Structure 1
Amino acid sequence: MMCGPAGAGKSTVARRLEGEGWHRLSFDDVAWSRGLRSHPLADADAEAVRAAVRAELLDLVGQGRDVVVDSASWSRASRDEYRALLATEGVVPLTCYVETPREVALSRVAARRGSGPHDLELPPGVAAAYVDGFEVPTAEEGPLVVVPGG
Structure 2
Amino acid sequence: MSRLILMCGMAGAGKSTYARTLEDRGWVRFSIDAEAWGRGFTGSSAVPPEVAADIRAGQRVAISDALGAGADVVVDYAFPSRAMRDEYRELGRTHRAEVEVVFLDTDASLVRDRLTRRRGSHPDDVVVDEGTMEAYRSAFEAPTSDEGEVTVIRTPR
TM-score bracket for the superposition, by shorter chain length: over 0.9
- Match of 2:40, SS? coil
- Match of 1:11, SS? helix
The alpha carbon displacement at 1:43 in A equals: 1.8
Q: Which residue of 2 aligns with 1:7?
A: 12
Do structure 1's residue 42 and structure 2's residue 52 form an aligned pair? no
User: Runs of 5+ in structure 2 lacking a partner?
Assistant: 1-5
Cα offsets for 1:62-93 (capped at 9, x unmatched): 11001111110111111111112222222241
Q: Which residue of 2 aligns with 1:90?
A: 96
Contact 1:61-1:67 within 8 A present in 2 as well: yes
TM-score normalized with structure 1 length:
0.92
When the two chains are superposed, the root-mean-square deviation of aligned CA atoms in Å is 1.4
Provide the C-alpha distance between the structure 1 equivalents of 2:45 and 2:105, rounded to a whole number of angstroms.
22
Task: Figure out how many residues of one structure are paired with residues of the other and give that number.
Answer: 150
Q: Which residue of 2 aligns with 1:69?
A: 75
- Match of 2:74, SS? strand
Do structure 1's residue 80 and structure 2's residue 86 form an aligned pair? yes
> How do residues 58-137 of structure 1 correspond to structure 2 at under 5 angstroms?
58-137=64-143
Normalized per residue, which structure has more strand? Answer: 2
Structure 2: which amino acid aligns with 1:94?
E
Which shows bigger deviation, 85-94 or 56-65?
Answer: 85-94
Identity of aligned residues (%): 43
Distance 1:20 1:149, change over 3 A: farther
